[in-house]
A and B are shown apart, each in its own frame.
Chain A
């Protein structure tokens, strides 16, 4: 399954709302879609699983939603530490696959 993320780069200011998109080439079984945050020199950090469930310790400003094969990660009010690269990943079909990422940068 191919995951296409958009936009490639998103330039916003702290306090603004961020909306990141991920489109799957085929329907995902049981909403098996996750979102990760990655900062330079670090491993990906799990934010959201099952399309809309926050992982342990993830602030509630992060939320995920789905509509068919379209998935969205929303960050309600950007904090300085939120500027990073975000990846979606599906784990319902083998092999698991990742999107190409969205870089969230400070405007």
Chain B
């Protein structure tokens, strides 16, 4: 059973850095899959953030690219997201997921991140 679990601070100050980790169990992040971050807010709905392959190759949302970094930690079977210079517009529920053939088939439960002073 593939499971993903997001973790990270629930509150980030404006202009600060949002850092989240997705722990994967039941699968290896070195498998032939991409690993995805999506966020959801009432204003924007479900929004693609980006994805990372086991080689470290990445695809980022152009609107976030200048502030975004995704990394893998193969020793921990985790992948991570780092978003700098956050504003209230980055307040959302953040989900990680596995992509199989481009399809998000397994999702984490999500973690709410609020940007506020």
* Chain A residues in the interface with B (C-beta under 8 A): 32, 34, 42-46, 49, 55, 87, 89, 91-92, 94-98, 100-101
Contact = CB atoms under 8 A, between A and B. Distances in A.
Given A94-B59, A95-B48, A101-B45, A43 B110 contact: yes
Contacts of A42: 109
Interface size classification for chain B: 10 to 19
A9 to B, nearest CB: 15
Contacts of A95: 48, 59, 61
A43 B103 contact: no
Interface of B: 45-48, 59, 61, 95, 99, 101-105, 107-110
Given A94-B59, A95-B59, A100 B104 contact: no
Contacts of B46: 44, 87, 89, 98
Which among B48, B95, B99 has the greatest number of chain A C-beta atoms within 10 A? Answer: B48
29 contacts: A32-B102, A34-B103, A34-B104, A42-B109, A43-B95, A43-B108, A43-B109, A43-B110, A44-B46, A44-B95, A44-B104, A45-B107, A46-B103, A49-B103, A49-B105, A55-B105, A89-B46, A91-B101, A91-B103, A91-B104, A94-B59, A95-B48, A95-B59, A96-B48, A96-B102, A96-B104, A98-B45, A98-B48, A100-B45
